[in-house]
Amino acid sequence: MRKWTIPSVLLVLFLLCALPDQGRKLGANAEGEADELVDPPKVEEKLGAVPNGLSTDSDVAKREAESMSKRSLRSNAEKFEFQAEVSRLMDIIINSLYSNKDIFLREIISNASDALDKIRFLSLTDKEILGEGDNAKLEIQIKLDKENKILSIRDRGIGMTKEDLIKHLGTIAKSGTSAFVEKMQTSGDLNLIGQFGVGFYSVYLVADYVEVISKHNDDKQYVWESKADGAFAISEDTWNEPLGRGTEIKLHLREEAAEYLEESKLKDLVKKYSEFISFPIYLWASKEVDVEVPADEDESTEKSSSEEEGDEDAEKTDDEDAEKKPKTKKVTETTYEWELLNDVKAIWLRNPKEVTEEEYTKFYHSLAKDFSDEKPLAWSHFTAEGDVEFKAVLFVPPKAPHDLYESYYNSNKSNLKLYVRRVFISDEFDELLPKYLNFLKGLVDSDTLPLNVSREMLQQHSSLKTIKKKLIRKALDMIRKIAEEDPEDANNKDKKDTEKSGDEDDEKKGQYAKFWNEFGKSIKLGIIEDATNRNRLAKLLRFESTKSDGQLTSLDQYISRMKSGQKDIFYITGNSKEQLEKSPFLERLKKKNYEVILFTDPVDEYLMQYLMDYEDKKFQNVSKEGLKLGKDSKDKDLKESYKELTKWWKSALASDNIDDVKISNRLDNTPCVVVTSKYGWSANMERIMQSQTLSDASKQAYMRGKRVLEINPRHPIIKELRERVVKDPEDESVKNTAQLMYQTALMESGFMLSDPKDFASRIYDSVKSGLNISPDAAVEEEDDAEEAETESEEASAPPKDKPDATEDAETTEAKDEL
């Protein structure tokens, strides 16, 4: 028994040791099987050391590629519908035959630059908002995945919260969406999309599926995705690499957009559209390099056999070197690294003499998001020194924005970007330029303004007023220069052509006329608003006149053509040039060879209330009292001979609130006109005010000018009327004629009749008289016989077939179902 005891104990111990090891193996196998089933994403170690910042674990990449290839929204994502206007916009883009699809990249880069500007501005007051490591690098990265046809653009900007993704990319369309849709339907120019704030949607020119991965400091990382089918989805991102902060846009390109997976194509686009973006743009680019690798054994053997042919000393030396350095050879390998695409120094920091015209044009297109083929009309690049130092570049756009005057007094947005020591601060300063110059594009970079203050405090900074004053002066000089360099401008036509005429002169032709057609109203508004620069702005005014032959002319040109002894600058306002040229107010002026300015813009009425004189010459509205055309010795005699008629006519028009009846010095072929007092509204101004949506007639009464009827003493009608009044002042026909002439004069002078029916009745009475029809002739009454016959026919007509009860029940039932 004892003999078996010791072996038994040893066997039991052996089994006890073996069983735990087997259990561990089984557990390990179970865990391995679980790993194969679940396959959780593996986040790469040393994330900060990853050179591209866009790569993911290989398993994750494979799984994502399979998911994306299906082009379907994730089932666990929260679904949303696009707002109607956004859907319309996307339908237009997707179905567009627009050939220039390249614009999508510039719009995405522009949006990325805006996001980087925002985070950099916030970092001025909160240094920690940028984070550490790669997150603190304010840059834009572009990466290609040719195998899966994915183009990725990433920025480290401010990022978007979940609410931001919903708001900006789907449900709440910005005001520009509707405006762009309307513009697109009329002009078909998709190139303007960036100016309307909806540039993101241009990605659907090249992609049929888009992912937007975004991380804001105040929220988790989310994914926005859409196939542009009227819906989008948002879900919390738990599978992509953590961004840290910023936004990455993944474009799953269409088959026909494969060209955008070529590095050379992307480099060209960035250089063309985004060269002057103020943040570095990197491309994950391939590069072929020569590297040394260990040589093959055969090559080493051949080399060693050839070395044996030398002398022994050389062999010993080579052997020693061989022991120190292994045999290698050079081969070409493809490597990838981040390549900087926009290494151009900021234009405004360079010497203006070193910047080419092409560079200014490119910079304007980038700054204004205007990528049409047209160049800016002019630019001014300057440095201001003194108490306040700053650099600035100003541009005059080739065309006015679509909404330039729609929200003129309500919009606070400026087209000038403010930088402080190369750091973008804001583009919402309406203190840099007055509203009438808000069509100018450009930027200001100041070394004097403080960085770490709020936008509100900066607006109160004393230096801002100095900057504004200098910017206005430079802007007006730039506009004046357009006129001076235009050989077709009115002020240059009389100058002797001493300079050589070449291509440059041809290019300048008509430039100021083009500027005036686009922005002339802004100059007029400037005269109204800016008393300090009123005279300088008046020199920029252009208009047509009775002697300009359809061309624009200036006040300086008008003064140079004034007749000797003429003290006033004559003008008239109205609806159109054609109407004004036929106006009775111009008859005597034309006959005496006076020039009259023709103002046809509604704003001109307001303009002339502020522009009282120019170069010591007063302005005179020829439709108002006070017109002086020199003294006539017969005037006194005429007034005396027509004294009885004017007195009688004034009393006859007492109910029409006529202030006076006078002998006219401005008429030639017209019997009479109605003029207004010097300081009241003209007929044109009355019409403008009455057409206002919220006009109040009771409050306008005191602004209406006093009306004066001026008669032409040389006209046969007036002469005959005088004789009849002398014979019988109480003659009703004469009174009716006088009333009709006054109403006709009101209409011809541009006034609106208060009682059109009364005027029409007097016209019909006059027609009756001309046709020798009795004033008492009645209108023939309608014959009732025909009407009675029609009624009898309807009564004798057979009744329509009535539906039976079954049909009636079925009809009722069908209606109930509907």
Sequence ranges of the binding site: 107, 111, 155, 160, 174-176, 195-200, 247, 455
Residue recorded with tokens 């990022």: 159
Query: What are the residues facing 564 on neighbouring strands?
Result: none
For residues 613 and 619, is the Cβ–Cβ distance under 8 A? Answer: yes
Report d(CA 566, CA 560) in Å as an integer: 11
Task: Kindly give, in sequence order, each residue whose CB lies less than 8 Å from that of residue 234, ignoring residues fewer than 6 positions away.
Answer: 77, 78, 80, 162, 165, 166, 222, 223, 224, 225
Cα separations (Å) of 120 from 452, 551, 708, 810?
Answer: 11, 51, 67, 73
Report d(CA 669, CA 712) in Å as an integer: 8
For residues 57 and 42, is the Cβ–Cβ distance under 8 A? Answer: yes
For residues 121 and 138, is the Cβ–Cβ distance under 8 A? Answer: no
Cβ atoms within 10 A of the Cβ of 79, count? 12
Report d(CA 597, CA 544) in Å as an integer: 6
Torsion sign across C-alpha atoms 8, 13, 17, 22: positive
Residue recorded with tokens 């019909």: 764
Q: Is 638 exposed, middle or buried (0-12, 13-18, 19+ CB in 10 A)?
A: middle
Q: Is 629 exposed, middle or buried (0-12, 13-18, 19+ CB in 10 A)?
A: middle
Report d(CA 346, CA 354) in Å as an integer: 12
Enumerate the known binding-site residues for ATP: 107, 111, 155, 160, 174-176, 195-200, 247, 455
Q: Whole-angstrom distance between the N-terminal and C-terminal Cα of the chain?
A: 101
Element (H, E) at 247: strand 246-253
Report d(CA 155, CA 168) in Å as an integer: 17
For residues 691 and 646, is the Cβ–Cβ distance under 8 A? Answer: no
Q: Which DSSP category does 168 fall into?
A: I
CA 529 to chain centre: 23
Q: Please state the φ and ψ torsions of residue 142, each to the nearest 5 degrees.
A: -120, 130
For residues 633 and 640, is the Cβ–Cβ distance under 8 A? Answer: no
Residue recorded with tokens 């034309």: 590
Tallying the residues shown for the chain, one arrives at 818
SS3 462: helix
For residues 667 and 673, is the Cβ–Cβ distance under 8 A? Answer: yes
Torsion sign across C-alpha atoms 328, 333, 339, 344: positive
Report d(CA 663, CA 796) in Å as an integer: 72
| Cα-only R_g, the chain | 42
Buried b / exposed e over 304-317, threshold 16 CB at 10 Å, is: eeeeeeeeeeeeee
Cα separations (Å) of 563 from 88, 129, 595, 611?
Answer: 61, 71, 9, 22
Task: Kindly give, in sequence order, each residue whose CB lies less than 8 Å from that of residue 493, ignoring residues fewer than 6 positions away.
Answer: none
**Helices 462-485 and 511-529 sit at what angle, rounded to 10 degrees?**
140
For residues 575 and 655, is the Cβ–Cβ distance under 8 A? Answer: no
